[in-house]
Structure 1
């Protein structure tokens, strides 16, 4: 699973590292979130995962999303999810976007993290 380091704002207004990890898995993309080992800053929020795919014009198109609920990390506690890929068949370039909200209604965005682009097969 490839991991991408992001610096995000926590609900307390501090910066913390968030690692967004992704792996191809047949018609799914497996995603794992974790904080920096040993970091005492807590990343707390309601997580929305978005899978985007580059089309033939190099524009990013959202192909699926799901609300994962509350996630709080104070050490290395993982949150894992699986996003269904259903847009283009075959190889395609995708990325995972993680939106962190302060509320369960997913209205108040705290910050955004992501992976780099990678090939989904």
Structure 2
């Protein structure tokens, strides 16, 4: 498993996966290309044998100097429960700590029960 920073071209690989990974829910419009171009230091891709199996898109708040925000996280359905989410979050938390931030915020949809359960657990 390799965790690396996102790059602009990753948008074209991830965008079509989003709706698929969310069971057909129309979600890809929530993640425009600008995140892959302007937040490369705080956004990460998980790859296994060259295949994208997860991603985390995060930012350091520009208006709240102690805060960071996780905008979008996804893990391939066949790779869930393999600590990929934990690895991505830990990578983000490392960057957050290195930048002197001590608050991380995120939101999820009320219908996304697995996301709520995951975030409650961590």
Q: TM-score, normalised by structure 2?
A: 0.28
Greater percentage in strand: 1
Highest RCO, 1 vs 2 (Cα 8 Å, sep ≥ 6): 1
Greater percentage in helix: 2
Q: TM-score, normalised by structure 1?
A: 0.28
